[in-house]
Amino acid sequence: MQLKISDYLKPEAIIMEMKAKEKIAAINELVAHMVKNKLVDDGKEFINALAKRENLESTGIGDGIAIPHARTNAVRALVLAFARSPDGIDFSSIDGKPSHIIFLIASPENMKSEYILALAKLSRLLRKRAVRELLRNAKDPDEIMEIIKKNEE
């Protein structure tokens, strides 16, 4: 299965500068943005699924990155969102540092393999310091999309 992150992240699912200052507010802001852009059917259900997932273990993976994610029937298809926080948000990352780049993954319950593949591909992409720097400095959603397209395998 050849899954590409750029096929599941749409420019309308990108927030260039988050207003939220803490984790739950950040998740709520991202989900509200996705509901507004008709990428998520049931915002409440999705937030509950994300909160349940965050309570299991933090999705702050270090290097200024967080990838909150959940499988839920609040979405009909695999969907990704991206947000940037200038000040950083405490996602209880492994390295103790705030997250400036946040990718959110939503997947219906029945798309487990695509969900796991998306998480793996995103993690691999974000291990590259150059990609993280480019994402932090991008000017607009089109540039974010371009960086991802150029750097994903």
Q: Which of 69, 71, 84, 100 is catalytic?
A: 69
CB-CB contact of 27 with 68 (8 Å): yes
Is 100 an annotated catalytic residue? no
Mean pLDDT of 119-136: 95
The DSSP element (H or E) to which 144 belongs, if any, is helix 141-151
Structure tokens at 11: 């420019």
Q: Residue 141 sits in a domain of what CATH number?
A: 3.40.930.10
Please give the residue range of the domain that contains residue 104.
5-151
Q: What are phi and psi of 86, to 5 degrees?
A: -60, -40
Per the structure, how many domains does the chain have? 1
d(CA 101, CA 123): 12
Please report the pLDDT score of residue 83 as a whole number: 97
Instruction: Confirm whether pTM is higher than 0.85.
Output: yes
Please report the pLDDT score of residue 53 as a whole number: 87
Summarised one tens digit per residue, pLDDT across range 29-76 is: 999 999 999 999 999 999 999 999 888 888 999 999 999 999 999 999
Q: Is the pLDDT of residue 1 over 60?
A: no
